[in-house]
Chain A
Amino acid sequence: MTTALPIGWVLRASTVGFTVGCRVLQPSVPQFGDLVKVPVSDGMSVFGLIYNVQVQDDPAVRQLILVGEMEPEAVLDQRENRLVPIEISVLVVGYQRDKQIFQGLPPQPPLSLDVLILGSDADIRAFTKNLDYFRLVLNSPQIPGDEVLVTHLRRAAEVQPPETQRQFLLNAGRELARLLNFDLVRLDNILRRIRPMSS
């Protein structure tokens, strides 16, 4: 979780979100719900949450499927030397400028080929001190916002000091309760999935 290796490069971007292309998926990164960041110009970084990972087909894959028999070497070659990149979709939830974190949309989106890196544990702890970004996630259309938040919160709780993990989830739950007061079924569904195992 502490790796700062580049995951991929920005393919397309807008203020509210961007898509990153990468060659191959490493065993554990990136994952759905991860907090990622893209360093952009002037010491600014844009933070986002991964809400979708898309593996698109290409002509070589189609031909291999038509052949029918899959040689392990051929499968491995196809996975490591893809003709089209794997696409990772990221929802923008905040940005950092001069070491200060703002939750909300950045003044400018990342540019093409900016590097995407996974947020460190310190980044996650710093970013989740404030929970104002929940509203952006829950209100973004066409993304599985509830699923993103559940996965993100469980992971964010893991990097908190053990003695504050429950309180972190409790604060997050209360923020969700404020935001989803109008939809108790949805709220209950999220809360049940983020509750600490020991509770």
Chain B
Amino acid sequence: MADNEFNDFDAFFPRAVTQKLGMVMSGSLSKGLEVKLDPSAPIEEMAVGRYVIIEGEQLKFFGMITDVALDNTNPQIEKTPPDVSDPFLREVYAGISTFGRIHISPMLVLDQAAEEPRPVKTIPGHFSLVRAADEDDVNMVFGAEDEQHFHIGEPLDMENVQVNLDLVRMVERSVGIFGKSGTGKSFLTRLLLAGVIKRRAAVSLIFDMHNDYGWEVQSENRTPVKGLKQLFPQQVAIFTLDEASSRRRKVRPDFTVVLDWSDIQPEDLEMLRVTLDLSDQMIGAAYSLRRAWGRGWIKQLLEADKDTIDLLVEGTTINRSSLDALSRRLERLTRFEFLRDSWKGDSAQKIIDYLDKGITVVLEFGRYGNSLEAYILVANYLTRRIHQMYVERVEQALGDAAQEPQQLMIVIEEAHKFLDPQIARQTIFGTIARELRKYNVTLLIVDQRPSGIDEEVMSQIGTRVTALLDNERDIAAVLTGVSGAGALREVLARLDTKQQALIMGHAVPMPVVIQTRSYDANFYAAMGFQDETALRAGRSTRVNLLRGEREEGID
């Protein structure tokens, strides 16, 4: 009965003809399906990453084009091609003797009876019809935008369809944003963070190396775009390491972060092993110095005269040359003005105070953004402290979810410097990545060299958002542990350099190539941002109401 009504409706308002692409000729679940293209389907419109529907006899499969190829029924035609200057001959041969072939990775089974798409566990039979997925199909897979789902972009060539990320699932595990330089990683990160803040999925601590997230950023075409603080003034606080830089950029920071020399411990130097070129002997000397001099060992070393050093060497097993080398290298840290003597404040605690109120903290590095040593040192120190506090609180909560601190996502850039295979096992970031959601702290790592990140850490990343990568090792690293990786490799290597990304993992039901949402006035409005004019108009209306004017529509 319902069907008849539907058909009658269609007679008056016919739906667009769904484009037939071809039919399944061969394939397997593990390697994907080979589809012979219909002569009416132009091969040049078959872009990798595009979605298709395969109509099986009983099931409807949702898949993605992962390769496009030319084929023929007789290889001889490659040696003696026909006279294609004649349109008639060309039309006869095309689609019959020569034809296009597409490779499809079946991803999901769309079952009208089931609430959500199911993972694919079988494949459609021979000659199953393949057609382009329409808006209804894609919406069925990615669901509607709601309190948990955030609109991140559109599938390729489907402007009216939204791809929505499940933010709650996303923040439960670590997230990776990868892409070669200039592919819009910061833009993607800002987009995701805006979603996380808007939906209150987690609170974030952002180590903002190049001042990309806080107040205002210059886009590539030199126009200013709004940072997170402008979009969410009540939910974002800007901390800075370099107050002068913030002031120059007309940013009013909420807090200036200062560290005491005694905050820096040998564990922090482990992270700087490569950046400061520290040997095992030097690290060993640092531990010995702390034992000998206590927490203020660095400052004491830097200020020590020759006699003090001589005395120390005589009284301990520390090697003199290692000590001298360590001293020379630590000398480089003295140019950081955020390291001070006898500082009584506690920057880590201040950050925690804000995070506890559900306020995301953007820590701007100002001029220190160009110094990898400063970035690693500060990020490592603060993360170590904050993580420790989270561990203690979660343990105190004894499994009572209401007592546990809010989910925290720590954002780091140049992540391979923190998660290098040689140091990832010892550093706090390696620990956070490995222990998953146990202590309500996860990472959002932004990086252009995923191959430099420890394999074990990569395998623990739940959601991967990847812009264009062209280095084979980087592509392989991003696809580690992903089923159907071979097919996705082609997709990944052919993304546009701008505003396109492949998302896979925990937050999406299947790998998806998206045209990312534009970060423009419409986006600001969707995030609830009101410009000055709108705010002023709103204020004057409210003022007039207070003066006794009646509001329209209200009796």
A contacts, CB < 8 Å to B? 166, 169-170, 173-174, 176-178, 181-182, 184-185, 187-188, 191-192, 195-196, 199
Contact = CB atoms under 8 A, between A and B. Distances in A.
B80 A191 contact: no
Given A181-B74, A184-B76, A195 B97 contact: no
B92 interface: yes
A196 B77 CA distance: 23
Interface in B75-93: 76-77, 80, 82-83, 86-89, 91-93
A195 B86 contact: yes
B96 A178 contact: yes
A169 B88 contact: yes
Contacts of A185: 80
Given A181-B96, A187-B97, A195-B88, 11 more contacts: A170-B88, A170-B92, A173-B92, A174-B95, A178-B96, A184-B80, A188-B82, A188-B83, A188-B89, A191-B82, A196-B88
Interface in B58-112: 73-74, 76-77, 80, 82-83, 86-89, 91-93, 95-97
17 contacts: A166-B88, A173-B89, A174-B92, A174-B96, A178-B96, A181-B73, A181-B74, A181-B97, A184-B76, A184-B77, A184-B80, A184-B82, A188-B89, A191-B88, A195-B86, A195-B89, A199-B87
A157 to B, nearest CB: 12
Interface in B91-147: 91-93, 95-97
The SS class assigned to the A binding surface is helix
Contacts of B93: 177
Interface string B403-428: 00000000000000000000000000
Nearest to B90: A199
A169 B88 CA distance: 9
A7 to B, nearest CB: 33
Nearest to B72: A181
Nearest to A187: B97
Contacts of B96: 174, 177-178, 181
B94 to A, nearest CB: 9
Contacts of A188: 82-83, 89
A177 B88 contact: no
A188 B76 CA distance: 13
Nearest to B73: A181
Contact of B74 (A170, A174, A182, A192): A182
A177 B93 CA distance: 7
Given A178-B96, A181-B97, A173 B74 contact: no
A196 B74 CA distance: 25
A196 B96 CA distance: 19
Contacts of A177: 92-93, 96-97
A169 B97 CA distance: 16
Given A174-B96, A178-B96, A181-B97, A192 B76 contact: no
Q: Which 4 A-B pairs rank lowest in CB-CB distance, beginning with the nearest?
A: A173-B92, A199-B88, A177-B96, A195-B88
Contact of B89 (A178, A181, A182, A192): A192
A141 B422 CA distance: 77
Given A181-B97, A199-B87, A191 B92 contact: yes
Given A181-B97, A184-B77, A184-B80, A199 B86 contact: yes
Nearest to B96: A177
A187 to B, nearest CB: 8
B340 to A, nearest CB: 82
Nearest to A182: B74
A196 B89 CA distance: 10
A70 B155 CA distance: 86
Nearest to A169: B88
A174 B73 CA distance: 13
A185 B96 CA distance: 16
